Amino acid sequence: MSYQTFDFNSSITKKQIVALTGLVLIFFVVFHLAGNLFIYGGPAAFNGYVEKLDDLGVLKTIAEWGLFFVFGIHILTTAFLVLENIQARGISRYAVDNSKGPRSLATRLMPYSGSYLFLYVIWHLIDFSWADQQGPRSIIHGVSYGLYGVVVNAFKDPLHSMLYIIAMCFLGLHLAHGTQSFLQTFGFNDNRFTPCIKKFSRYFAVAMAAGYSSIPLYVLYVLKV
């Protein structure tokens, strides 16, 4: 009986690592959106959700560090694949291969959407996750509303909201390509599945981008504070 050894230098292995770490991040995106939507329930609902997460204590810390690790592996492995592809193309690295049909917009924008999202994640952590939840940014009409107040005050700034929505649009493009790539990497690339995979990837990406983008739009144009 023969066993296949793990070979990180293999492009197939790298693609599988990117796909698996991407799947973990997709699950996070879905659950994070579900939590963020508590903002529609008001400060008690949203802050109550935040407190439930904080009550997890060490489990929350482990999950956060695990997510950082997965995110780092996803980015580094993707970078290795990009460099590998550039080296393989040599002097023809700027040529476009349309043998499998024209590339989608999501595919063409992957380097840019990924780069923007990487920078945005850093800003997002500083802006919300590591913010003083009882500080000046949490205060609405003289009362501290915790993280709810921080989020509302942030999204009441049109520029802040615009940068967030741009990030969510890029997230949608990234998900449209990433979800499709994950399914194809693990064998769902038969012609019978391809149309369904493309539709599912697009609808899922639009749903996630719209769900996240609805929050700053709600704060800007609907919420009266």
Report residue 103 as tokens.
């590339």
Lowest mean pLDDT among 26-35, 112-121, 125-134: 112-121
- Tokens 């049109």: give the residue: 158
Exposure string of 39-48, with b = 16+ CB inside 10 Å and e = fewer, is beeebeebbe
Residue 1's identity, in one-letter code, is M
Report the chain's terminal Cα–Cα distance, integer Å: 69
The model carries a pTM of 0.87
CA nearest neighbour of 20 among 95, 91, 70? 70
pLDDT confidence of 6, banded at 50, 70, 90? low
pLDDT at 3: 45
CA nearest neighbour of 118 among 163, 160, 161, 75? 75
Match domain 11-221 to its CATH number in 3.40.50, 1.10.10, 1.20.1300, 3.30.450.
Answer: 1.20.1300
Region 92-109: what's the mean pLDDT? 56
| Crossing angle for the helix pair 194-221 and 11-36, to the nearest 10 degrees | 40
**Which CB contacts under 8 angstroms, 24+ apart, belong to 184-191?**
185/15, 185/16, 185/18, 185/19, 186/16, 186/19
* Backbone CA torsion sign across 113, 115, 121, 123: negative
Region 49-76: what's the mean pLDDT? 95
Rounded CA separation 75/11 (Å)? 15
Give the mean pLDDT of the chain.
Answer: 86
Region 30-47: what's the mean pLDDT? 97
Rounded CA separation 144/180 (Å)? 43
Full DSSP string of 55-117: TTTHHHHHHHHHHHHHHHHHHHHHHHHHHHHHHHHGGGTT----TT-PPPHHHHTHHHHHHHH
Question: What whole-number percentage of the chain has pLDDT above 70?
Answer: 87
